[in-house]
């Protein structure tokens, strides 16, 4: 294929470096420096997709981020698929593979196109609501067909092989946009010694200057750009980020920048390189120099390929050396549009006419057009376009001075390209992100950034200042303001001299009239991506949608991936006219992050795979892995769940672990339990305030179980706290509750009782904790210590310091299994040593490692609760049958005491935790099952509480369960029924939750 | 993402280092037993939800672990001031 | 010397706090939180060129002191024990000989000494310091990573939201902050040298993270 629209010379492309790319399966050539869009236009590709709703053929309209149509699917392989890429922003590389996003089965023969042709009345605005909502059962079907046909792109089915990451940045001044305003701002800030980040979404800095024929200091503007960029590169504290879109402006000057580091190089990032990087920037000041987007005009059939925004036509010619057609008609409401016709003419192609909607325009560019003898038709408009897959001609007619109606007869022109300019819309998106409402400016005929609480300044076209000279000046002024506010001294910057262009007044025109009324005229598109027409907006207004926010939602205007960058202002102008209001009265438009779509890769960064979430390990983790543990997540901890032997099912393993522990000795890695060191003379009193039970008399060397409640009286954590010294305690918490309990203690100490002399320190990670449990645990321990661990010398609920396997240890004789049990704590650096020594000596006792599941079963056999499993924030100690753990007579009203005395907390029919034995001992109730008293009651049955813990107990040879039952503590022996999802009803008897050894004889030996 | 000045560390830090801990200046009644159910319920559950200035309790969880107060505009998200526990705000709603 | 020479020897009061020499004899080697990563072998076999260098300074004595910074008696006791004063300025640290102290909070400091000295220092504090304070041995709960190299700041910027520019983060500054999805105490010990104190249970995650974040610069493990 030849590049039939490529000029022989000119543009910022390298004609010596030919690149091959594929579009919809066909190969084409382009040059280094092209965007995918410019290369497609060079090759004369007219149709690049089908429209969303009517499936009309669409072509490239714009040359930048505002492009609504050229949304491509990229990727040479399944794994490298990227949807939703604007061809106007994708740099061409050799081997690029692209395809149209919309269009099924293909862009040229399209099923939905048929619908589109007849569909004028079939698909009015709100068509989702009106057409497809009924019957509701069909919605899934409709939706899948619409999605497939409308084509919202597709995500890859294989893992993305590329790497994406995030970097935290800090700067004094973040300059967004490297056009004339941004460059002068960055230069001034950098020379003053500020830390500067300059980000621009394009591959090169320069913005509008890259496609401009202007001069600065008598040189081509692009040379000034090079000088400034070079100087900026020389500062240590300046970071230059080309190919980087500032996508989000968040609170307190936090901005996100999406940098595409290798998207321009290849389908896959070169080895070792990061494909895209998300910069998380905290800027002391932000200077928005984001420029403006040209508005296309709204006229009949203005979406036929070949219709383009005037400035885009100039950009393709000047920057890329591509003239996207042969014969041009330009329609404009303002002087700047003329540049497209001048560039077209200068490129040697035919300008059929310049159609100026103004009656008698005058200005430098108009003069320039007259000098070239271009045909200028004033007081007229292009009111209609002929052609379907490419413009073949236009209808031109005179219009009234206010632009509301056609006033004369139609002339037809034979052209293949229509450029239009309805003026410019400042790119205010970022300033809207933090909630700032934009303000309408009549003079600019557009919204300007509104008042903001952010440390934000604006410069250049975003302020409606469209001349290069003004942009340079405003950039400098903004930088000086930021520099002074930062307390720096502004360095001197002499701005280059620019040539002033004398412009005439523009005309405000949002909607070009047609011979027919809007509803009957051919479609006049406002929002290309969502197929919103002028008629659709009129209909919405007639149907009663008066707020622009409602109009937008009803018509879907601005809801595409382009966020209505081209269409919103025209749409608002049309709505305002119909409603007979001013634009500000109709409402403002607001934009939200992100400015352009961001890949999921960049959002995820490195927080994926093994780095998705931290895995916390104990000192014995390696042993667990080597010994075949299956792991369970407890918060971020990886805890052994059970240790299956070859051929064992989970239940087999649990049965074996449970029996071994009760018959001889088992061992549990309990290091994950939260541990808080508490020191100070008021430590004991503090414990009395945060626990429900008494601590005043706990002697040194003793341990005690405690329940912790919130002020509402509800249990939120529990654990054993031991008295290490008169003013020294160590508290244990649940594995998941450690951080919360620590913060809770600090909260009360810092905010309520700062006078108390107590300090808290987290020591969870410092101690490795291993619990040996079972009748042979004492014998095993005694083999490893010289300390006498007999019943007489180390009683139940005592702790002592001793050497275990040569390592200094604190051994606590506490039990969560109901067996004789010792919890050995050593500094974690020696944990694995002691653990392995225990196994060396434990073999003869069949020392059996067990995990969390066996721990749960063994404790449930004893009726011990697990906070967070048997409690859910709505149960107090009495509900748990743990009145023994509440000391209401403590002098201080401990946390939870008043709460659990509230009227609702003393109801007799509260749900209370009880044991439950299924009548059929082989049935294990599912946890979460809801109980009823009367299984024959009509549905919905009154539910009386749910099962919280349920297991097969190998030691008891039956199932056991704990659960809540209304008034259960007074219903011992009564029946509860559990209707299950499969229709079966399980009958269970209420009993004490202590299923085994109710007198506690096993642990008291 | 807020940028929060920690009055103990003496510098601005990112929001991810902090936890909010609800409305500030909710003092625990000195004699809970003397409270009616209604009074206790108000202490437990009832909080302001103003559009505008709000006094909040925060903790520098990943930093110095100190609690402190913050006066924040819930509409603009501006942080008007931070002040230590036991101190009173100088910026208050009218 | 006191003039009250006639004071009788009193039976020691029952210990109000329990302290214990937690280290076994030298025949039992401690295993640091990154023991399983076998950094020593990596240091021998791994690459020697790269933008980021990592070394684990393992098995040091970590002591957390909480006391009242306006109690001059307590401050004097610190000098008697450590021969260096507590840094009272927020986010600062001091280092003298083999002792370093990091400001953690207005009433909290992290003292790091050689591992074998931890108990001695702890005991001397108990002898020298009076009033309300706490001293906790946390040596098993954390480890120290030394990170250096030309790209150390680049790597850290991927990991922490703290501003590491020398103007904002000079040598000696110390912060407790977020590190990836964990936390770390970060101290600048040189122009291109930082110290991280990380928690034992998160050590493997942090090690994985650092390897990943250093990939584009090259990671050198030093012995």
pLDDT per position as a tens digit, A502-536 = 999 999 999 999 999 999 999 999 999 989 999 99
Shared-domain flag, residues A837 and A974 = no
Identify the three-state secondary structure at position A1001.
coil
Residue C160's closest chain B neighbor by CA?
B14
Chain B positions in Cβ-Cβ contact with residue C90 (cut-off 8 Å):
8-11, 64
Q: Do B28 and A752 touch (CB under 8 A)?
A: yes
Structure tokens that stand for A345 in this block = 């003419």
Is A616 among the domain residues? no
pLDDT per position as a tens digit, A417-469 = 999 999 999 999 999 999 999 999 999 999 999 999 999 999 999 999 999 99
Q: Find, among A312, A317, A319, the residue nearest to A295 by Cα.
A: A312
Shared-domain flag, residues A145 and A31 = yes
Q: Find, among C204, C155, C165, the residue nearest to C182 by Cα.
A: C204
Residue C161's closest chain A neighbor by CA?
A168
Question: How far off is chain A from C173, nearest CA to CA, in Å?
Answer: 17
Question: How far off is chain A from B3, nearest CA to CA, in Å?
Answer: 6
* Residue tagged 């009173």 (tokens): B88
A250 touches chain C (CB under 8 A): no
Lowest pLDDT segment from A384-388, A584-588, C53-57, C89-93: A584-588
Residue B16's closest chain C neighbor by CA?
C178
Chain B positions in Cβ-Cβ contact with residue A250 (cut-off 8 Å):
1
Chain C interface residues (partner B, CB cutoff 8 A): 90-91, 104-106, 108, 161-162, 175-178, 183
Q: What is the CATH number of the domain that holds A661?
A: 3.30.1360.120
Lowest pLDDT segment from A583-592, A801-810, A881-890: A583-592
Q: Quote the pLDDT of residue C2.
A: 41
Chain C positions in Cβ-Cβ contact with residue B8 (cut-off 8 Å):
90, 105-106
Give me the percent of chain A exceeding a pLDDT of 90: 89
Of B27, B44, B57, the CB nearest to A899: B44
The per-residue DSSP string of A587-624 comes to ------S-SS---HHHHHTT-SGGGSS--B--TTHHHH
Q: How far is CA A734 from CA A255, A310, A748, A757, A914, in A?
A: 39, 67, 19, 25, 22
Q: Quote the pLDDT of residue C7.
A: 45
A617 touches chain B (CB under 8 A): no
CA distance A98 to A104: 15
Does the pLDDT value for residue C14 go beyond 60? no
Mean pLDDT of C35-50: 92
Is B93 among the domain residues? no
Under 8 Å CB pairs connecting chains A and B tally to: 60
Shared-domain flag, residues A828 and A960 = no
Number of domains in chain B: 1
Average pLDDT value over all residues in chain C: 94
Q: Do A274 and C208 touch (CB under 8 A)?
A: no
B28 touches chain A (CB under 8 A): yes
Of B2, B66, B86, the CB nearest to A251: B2
Confidence of residue A561 (pLDDT cuts 50, 70, 90): confident
Shared-domain flag, residues A359 and A455 = no
Chain C positions in Cβ-Cβ contact with residue B67 (cut-off 8 Å):
none
Identify the three-state secondary structure at position A263.
coil
A274 touches chain C (CB under 8 A): yes
In a mutational test of the A interface, the residue from B67, B68, B72, B83 whose CB has the highest number of chain A CBs within 10 Å is: B67
Q: Quote the pLDDT of residue A130.
A: 54
Confidence of residue A116 (pLDDT cuts 50, 70, 90): very low
Residue B65's closest chain C neighbor by CA?
C105
The last residue of a domain, from among A700, A734, A762: A762
B86 touches chain A (CB under 8 A): yes
Question: How far off is chain B from A155, nearest CA to CA, in Å?
Answer: 29
Q: Do B59 and A743 touch (CB under 8 A)?
A: yes
Q: Do A252 and B2 touch (CB under 8 A)?
A: yes
C139 touches chain A (CB under 8 A): yes
- Chain C neighbours (≥3 Cβ pairs under 8 A) are A, B
Answer whether A921's CB lies under 8 Å from A959's CB.
yes
Shared-domain flag, residues A183 and A246 = yes
Is B90 among the domain residues? no
Is A260 among the domain residues? yes
Lowest pLDDT segment from A123-132, A195-204, A478-487, C35-44: A123-132
Shared-domain flag, residues A643 and A775 = yes
Largest Cα–Cα distance of chain A, in whole Å?
115
The per-residue DSSP string of A203-219 comes to SSS-GGGGG---EETTE
Q: Quote the pLDDT of residue A149.
A: 46
Of A435, A754, A902, the CB nearest to B40: A902
- C99: β partners: C96
Confidence of residue A119 (pLDDT cuts 50, 70, 90): very low
Shared-domain flag, residues A184 and A61 = no
Is A1000 among the domain residues? no
B73 touches chain C (CB under 8 A): no
Shared-domain flag, residues A663 and A778 = yes
C80 touches chain A (CB under 8 A): no
Backbone angles phi, psi at A734, to 5 degrees: -65, 160
The number of residues in chain B equals 94
Mean pLDDT of A72-91: 95
Chain B positions in Cβ-Cβ contact with residue C104 (cut-off 8 Å):
64
Residue A974 belongs to what domain range?
Answer: 859-887+898-991
C136 touches chain A (CB under 8 A): yes
Q: Do C106 and B66 touch (CB under 8 A)?
A: yes
Is B91 among the domain residues? no
CA distance A411 to A413: 7
Confidence of residue C117 (pLDDT cuts 50, 70, 90): very high
CA distance A473 to A229: 18
The last residue of a domain, from among A743, A762, A781: A762
Average pLDDT value over all residues in chain A: 94
B22 touches chain C (CB under 8 A): no
Helix (H) or strand (E) holding A931: strand A930-931
Answer whether A145's CB lies under 8 Å from A138's CB.
no
Of C28, C138, C160, the CB nearest to A806: C28
Chain C positions in Cβ-Cβ contact with residue A767 (cut-off 8 Å):
140-141
- Chain A neighbours (≥3 Cβ pairs under 8 A) are B, C
Backbone angles phi, psi at A403, to 5 degrees: 75, 15
CA distance A461 to C33: 57
Cis amide prior to A594 (ω within 30 degrees): yes
Of C16, C134, C138, the CB nearest to A766: C138
Is A998 among the domain residues? no
Mean pLDDT of A211-225: 93
Of B10, B14, B62, the CB nearest to C176: B62
Shared-domain flag, residues A534 and A590 = yes
**Domain assignments of chain C as residue spans, ordered by start:** 35-221
Does the pLDDT value for residue C84 go beyond 60? yes
Q: Find, among A254, A311, A260, the residue nearest to A284 by Cα.
A: A254
Is A607 among the domain residues? no
Q: What is the CATH number of the domain that holds B32?
A: 3.30.2270.10
Residue B26 belongs to what domain range?
Answer: 3-84
Q: Quote the pLDDT of residue A155.
A: 86
A195 touches chain C (CB under 8 A): yes
Number of domains in chain A: 7
Residue C141's closest chain A neighbor by CA?
A766
Is B9 among the domain residues? yes
Give me the percent of chain C exceeding a pLDDT of 70: 93
Q: Is A928 exposed, middle or buried (0-12, 13-18, 19+ CB in 10 A)?
A: exposed
* Residue tagged 């002391």 (tokens): A284
Confidence of residue A50 (pLDDT cuts 50, 70, 90): confident
Of A253, A254, A898, the CB nearest to B40: A898
Q: Do A757 and C132 touch (CB under 8 A)?
A: yes
Domain C35-221 falls under CATH 3.30.390.10: no
Q: Which residues contact A12 (CB under 8 A, 6 or more apart)?
A: A33, A204, A210, A222, A319, A320
* Residue tagged 């922490």 (tokens): C160
Mean pLDDT of B32-60: 96
C55 touches chain A (CB under 8 A): no
In a mutational test of the B interface, the residue from C177, C183, C196 whose CB has the highest number of chain B CBs within 10 Å is: C177
Answer whether B59's CB lies under 8 Å from B3's CB.
no
Q: What is the CATH number of the domain that holds A973?
A: 2.40.30.110
Shared-domain flag, residues A320 and A344 = yes
CA distance C93 to B20: 28
Q: Do C91 and B10 touch (CB under 8 A)?
A: yes
Q: Do A617 and C201 touch (CB under 8 A)?
A: yes
Chain A positions in Cβ-Cβ contact with residue B77 (cut-off 8 Å):
251-252, 434-435, 453
Cα radius of gyration (chain C): 20
In a mutational test of the B interface, the residue from C92, C161, C180 whose CB has the highest number of chain B CBs within 10 Å is: C161
Q: Which residues contact A721 (CB under 8 A, 6 or more apart)?
A: A678, A687, A691, A695, A698, A703, A704, A706, A729, A730, A731, A732
Shared-domain flag, residues A809 and A865 = no
A251 touches chain C (CB under 8 A): no
Q: Quote the pLDDT of residue A118.
A: 43
Q: Quote the pLDDT of residue B94.
A: 74
Strands (E), A38-189: 49-50, 57-58, 71-74, 82-86, 96-100, 164-176
Q: Quote the pLDDT of residue C48.
A: 86
* Residue tagged 């070169």 (tokens): A270
B33 touches chain A (CB under 8 A): yes
Shared-domain flag, residues A557 and A693 = no
B64 touches chain C (CB under 8 A): yes
Confidence of residue B93 (pLDDT cuts 50, 70, 90): confident
Residue B5's closest chain A neighbor by CA?
A252
Q: Do B32 and A282 touch (CB under 8 A)?
A: no
């Amino acid at each position: 294929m030849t590049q039939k629209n490529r000029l022989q010379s000119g543009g910022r492309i390298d004609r010596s470096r030919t690149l091959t790319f594929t579009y919809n399966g066909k190969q084409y050539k382009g040059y280094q420096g092209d965007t995918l869009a410019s290369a497609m236009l060079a090759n004369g590709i007219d149709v690049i997709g089908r429209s969303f709703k009517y499936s009309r053929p669409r072509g490239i309209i714009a040359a930048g981020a505002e492009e609504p149509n050229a949304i491509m699917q990229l990727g040479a392989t399944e794994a490298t698929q990227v949807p939703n890429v604007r061809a106007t922003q994708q740099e061409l590389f050799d081997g690029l593979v692209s395809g149209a996003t919309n269009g099924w089965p293909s862009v040229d023969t399209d099923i939905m196109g048929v619908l589109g042709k007849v569909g004028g009345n079939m698909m009015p605005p709100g068509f989702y609501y009106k057409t497809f909502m009924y019957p509701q059962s069909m919605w899934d079907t409709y939706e899948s067909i619409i999605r497939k046909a409308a084509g919202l792109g597709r995500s890859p089915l294989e893992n993305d092989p590329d790497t994406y990451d995030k970097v935290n940045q800090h700067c004094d001044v973040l300059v967004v946009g490297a056009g004339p305003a941004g460059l002068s701002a960055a230069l001034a800030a950098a020379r003053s010694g500020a830390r500067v980040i300059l980000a621009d979404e394009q591959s090169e800095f320069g913005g509008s200057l890259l496609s401009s024929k202007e001069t600065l200091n008598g040189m081509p503007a692009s040379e000034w750009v090079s000088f400034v960029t070079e100087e900026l590169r020389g500062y240590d504290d300046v970071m230059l980020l080309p190919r980087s879109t500032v996508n989000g402006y968040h609170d307190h000057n936090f901005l996100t920048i999406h940098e595409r580091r290798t998207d321009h190089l290849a389908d896959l990032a070169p080895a070792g390189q990061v494909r895209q990087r998300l910069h998380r920037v905290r800027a002391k000041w932000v200077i928005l120099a984001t420029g403006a987007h040209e508005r296309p005009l709204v006229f009949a059939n203005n979406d036929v390929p070949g219709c383009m925004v005037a400035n885009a036509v100039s950009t393709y010619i000047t920057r890329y050396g591509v003239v996207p057609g042969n014969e041009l008609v330009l329609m404009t409401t303002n002087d700047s549009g003329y540049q497209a016709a001048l560039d077209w003419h200068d490129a040697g192609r035919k300008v059929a006419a310049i159609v100026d909607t103004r009656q008698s325009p005058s200005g430098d560019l108009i003069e320039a057009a007259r000098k070239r003898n271009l045909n200028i038709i004033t007081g007229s408009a292009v009111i209609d376009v002929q052609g379907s897959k490419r413009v073949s001609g236009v209808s031109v007619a005179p219009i009234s001075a206010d632009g509301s109606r056609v006033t004369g007869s139609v002339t037809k022109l034979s052209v293949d390209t229509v450029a239009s300019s309805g003026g410019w819309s400042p790119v205010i998106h970022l300033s809207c992100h933090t909630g700032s409402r934009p303000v309408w400016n009549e003079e600019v005929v557009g919204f300007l950034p509104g008042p903001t609480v952010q440390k934000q300044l604006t410069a250049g076209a975003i302020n409606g200042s469209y001349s290069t000279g003004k942009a340079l000046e405003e950039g400098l002024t903004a930088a000086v303001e930021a520099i002074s506010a930062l307390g720096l001294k502004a360095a001197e910057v002499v701005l280059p001299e620019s040539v002033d262009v004398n412009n005439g007044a523009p005309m405000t025109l949002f909607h070009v009239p047609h011979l027919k009324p809007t509803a009957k005229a051919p479609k006049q598109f406002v929002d290309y991506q969502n197929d919103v027409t002028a008629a659709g907006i009129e209909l919405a207004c007639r149907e009663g949608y008066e707020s622009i926010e409602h109009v937008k939602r009803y018509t879907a205007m601005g809801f595409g991936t382009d966020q209505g960058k081209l269409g919103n202002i025209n749409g608002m102008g049309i709505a305002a006219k119909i409603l007979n209001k001013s634009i500000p009265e109709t409402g403002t438009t607001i934009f939200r992050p992100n400015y352009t779509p961001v890949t999921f890769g960049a959002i995820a960064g490195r927080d994926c795979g093994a780095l998705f979430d931290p895995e916390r390990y104990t000192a014995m983790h390696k042993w667990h892995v080597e010994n075949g543990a299956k792991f369970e997540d407890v918060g971020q901890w990886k805890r052994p769940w059970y240790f299956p032997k070859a051929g064992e099912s989970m239940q087999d393993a649990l049965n074996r672990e449970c029996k071994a522990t009760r018959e001889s000795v088992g061992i549990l890695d309990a290091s994950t339990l939260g541990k808080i060191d508490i020191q100070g003379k008021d430590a004991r009193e503090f414990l009395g305030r945060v626990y429900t039970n008494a601590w005043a008399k706990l002697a040194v060397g003793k341990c005690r179980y405690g329940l912790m409640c919130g002020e509402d009286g509800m249990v939120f954590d529990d654990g054993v706290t031991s008295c290490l010294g008169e003013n020294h305690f160590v508290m244990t918490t649940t594995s998941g509750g450690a951080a919360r309990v620590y913060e809770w203690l600090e909260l009360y100490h810092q905010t309520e009782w700062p006078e108390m002399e107590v300090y808290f320190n987290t020591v969870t990670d410092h101690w490795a904790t291993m619990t040996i449990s079972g009748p042979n645990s004492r014998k095993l321990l005694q083999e490893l210590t010289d300390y006498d661990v007999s019943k007489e010398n180390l009683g139940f609920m005592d702790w002592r310091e001793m050497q275990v396997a040569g390592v200094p240890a604190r051994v606590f004789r506490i039990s969560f299994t109901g067996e004789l049990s010792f919890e050995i704590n050593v500094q974690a650096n020696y944990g694995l040593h002691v653990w392995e020594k225990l196994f060396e000596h434990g073999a003869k006792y069949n020392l059996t490692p067990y995990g969390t599941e066996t721990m749960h079963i063994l404790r449930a056999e004893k009726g011990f609760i697990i906070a967070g499993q048997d409690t859910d924030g709505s149960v107090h100690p009495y509900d748990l049958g743990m009145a023994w753990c509440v000391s209401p007579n403590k002098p201080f009203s401990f946390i939870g005491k008043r709460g659990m005395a509230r009227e609702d907390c003393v109801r007799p029919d509260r749900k209370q935790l009880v044991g439950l034995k299924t009548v059929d001992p082989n049935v294990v109730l599912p946890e979460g099952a809801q109980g009823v008293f009367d299984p024959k009651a009509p549905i919905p049955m009154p539910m009386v509480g749910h099962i919280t813990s349920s297991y097969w107990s190998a030691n008891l040879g039956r199932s056991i369960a704990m659960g809540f039952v209304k008034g259960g503590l007074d219903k011992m022996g009564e029946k509860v029924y559990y209707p299950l999802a499969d229709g079966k009803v399980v009958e269970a008897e209420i009993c004490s939750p202590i299923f085994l050894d109710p007198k506690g004889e096993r642990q008291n030996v | 993402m807020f940028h929060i000045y920690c009055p103990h560390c003496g510098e601005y830090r990112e929001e991810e280092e902090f936890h909010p801990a609800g409305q500030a200046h909710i003092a625990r009644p000195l004699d809970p037993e003397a409270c009616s159910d209604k009074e206790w319920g108000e202490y437990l559950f009832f909080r302001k939800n103003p559009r505008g200035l709000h006094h909040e309790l925060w903790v520098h969880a990943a930093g110095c672990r100190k609690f402190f107060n913050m006066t924040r505009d819930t509409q603009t998200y501006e942080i008007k001031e931070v002040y230590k526990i036991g101190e009173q705000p100088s910026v208050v709603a009218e | 010397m006191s003039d009250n020479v006639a004071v009788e020897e009193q039976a020691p009061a029952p210990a109000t706090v329990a302290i214990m020499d937690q280290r076994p004899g030298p025949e039992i080697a401690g295993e640091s939180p990154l023991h399983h990563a076998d950094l020593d072998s990596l240091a021998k076999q791994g690459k020697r060129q790269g933008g980021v260098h990592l070394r684990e300074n393992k098995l040091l004595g970590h002591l957390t002191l909480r006391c009242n910074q306006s109690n001059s008696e307590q401050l004097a006791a610190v000098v008697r024990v450590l021969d260096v004063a507590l840094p009272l300025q927020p986010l600062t640290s001091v280092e003298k000989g083999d002792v370093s102290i990091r400001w953690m909070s207005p009433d909290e400091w992290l003292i790091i000494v050689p591992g074998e000295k931890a108990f001695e220092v702890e005991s001397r504090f108990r002898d020298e310091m009076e009033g309300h304070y706490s001293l906790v041995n946390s040596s098993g709960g954390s480890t120290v990573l030394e990170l250096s190299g030309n790209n150390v700041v680049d790597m850290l910027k991927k990991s922490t939201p703290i501003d590491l520019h020398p103007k904002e983060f000079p040598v000696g500054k110390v912060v407790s902050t977020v590190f990836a999805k964990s936390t770390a105490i970060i101290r600048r010990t040189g122009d291109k040298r930082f110290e991280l104190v990380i928690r034992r249970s998160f050590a493997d995650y942090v090690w994985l993270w650092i390897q990943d974040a250093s990939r584009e610069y090259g990671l050198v493990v030093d012995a």
